[in-house]
Amino acid sequence: MKVTPLSLPGLLLLELDCYPDERGFFLETYQQSRYQEAGIGSTFVQDNHSFSRKNVLRGMHFQEGNHQAKLVSVIQGTIFDVAVDIRPSSKTFGKWVGQVLDDHNHHQLFIPEGCAHGFCVLSDSAHVIYKVSTPFVSEMERSFRFDDPTIAISWPISTFILSAKDRKAPLFANLFSKEVP
């Protein structure tokens, strides 16, 4: 497994070892000791599976007071996966990183606690699975607008299918008092 640190502290791109042959392929999607050696000390307590159609955008989501680290993988399709640093004391507060994840490159994105998460589907559909370090608590769920001009995420699509919740999400500045550098 190749581990590449990205520009947000703790955000890692993981390139898994894949063993293809005439039957298909084999890859190990998680082994706790190997991930700990890579610097991922999170204990994952819940697995989630999301199915979405082309142009669906989910995000930008986080849990207030119950921060989640996430390990994101795509088992079918292609997504553009985004993390935004929401740690006010971080030098990269308000900055974002996006990565293409798909069922061909088998890359994973480790998103540390203190980051909001979202993705859009680039293929006809996508199955996304992700491990989280704390259980989902609906009362703590928060979001901000995917198209917030202060954050300025460069989404690779221009037509979006959004949930009602994501359509009416507040601006980033309405959630965080510190100004984005």
The residues assigned a catalytic role are 61, 130
CA 78/CA 142 separation, integer angstroms:
25
| Cβ contact 128:78 at 8 Å | no
Instruction: Sort residue 142 into left (φ over 0), alpha (ψ -120 to 50) or beta.
Output: beta
Are residues 30 and 119 in contact, defined by beta-carbon separation less than 8 angstroms? no
CB 120 within 8 A of CB 56: yes
- Residue among 102, 53, 61 at smallest CA distance from 83: 61
